[in-house]
Amino acid sequence: MAVQTILKYPHPVLKKLARRVDVIDDEITSLMQDLIDTMQAGPGSVGVAAPQIGAALRVCVVDVSKSRHGKENNHGLLCMVNPEIIARSGTAVMREGCMSVPDYTGDVERATVITVRFLDSRTGEERELEASGFEAVAIQHELDHLDGVLFLDRIVSISTGLFRRKNYA
């Protein structure tokens, strides 16, 4: 498996609705490993969705455990196939960035607590978990990628909520 190139906005795959996965086979397992490798190689990355590496499939990874924002509250590495948010509550505005939009960050309003259901690619079993805080935000961000939505589409105010990135640190 390998680190893959991240597609940059306005690449058309990033705005496409990803297809559901019918079977977790060797191709999906390999794709998942590529997503993990790519996330771990990315500067400050806490998640990557398959469309970001050119695969329009409903597959993504999230791991906020190494981030200062998610270190205290996380479920570790999540390898999600066909994820869907089935409940959400609360709202907060947080600054988000994205490897597919490397030059900008933006203020985005998201739910503060979510329940997500997905197939775990490592076990093939359906899982349901509640995530909160930074982990909930990261999951929502990656699931947006599966629907062809970028954080740019969710900026709270285009005039005051979009910022040129200074660095990745």
Calpha distance 46→142 (Å, rounded): 9
Q: What is the pTM of this model?
A: 0.96
- 142 catalytic residue (yes or no): yes
Residue in 27, 128, 130, 142 annotated catalytic = 142
pLDDT at 28: 97
Domain residue extents for the chain: 12-164
Sheet containing 162-164: which strands, arranged edge to edge?
92-98, 101-110, 162-164
Over residues 119-148, the mean pLDDT reads 97
pLDDT value of residue 8:
98
Q: In the structure, what pLDDT confidence band is assigned to residue 168 with cuts at 50, 70 and 90?
A: low
Instruction: Please name the residue that has the structure tokens 């929502």.
Output: 140
Would you give the DSSP letter of residue 10? T
- CATH architecture of the domain 12-164 equals Alpha-Beta Complex (3.90)
Q: What tokens appear for 56 in the block?
A: 């329009």
- The pLDDT assigned to 5 comes to 97
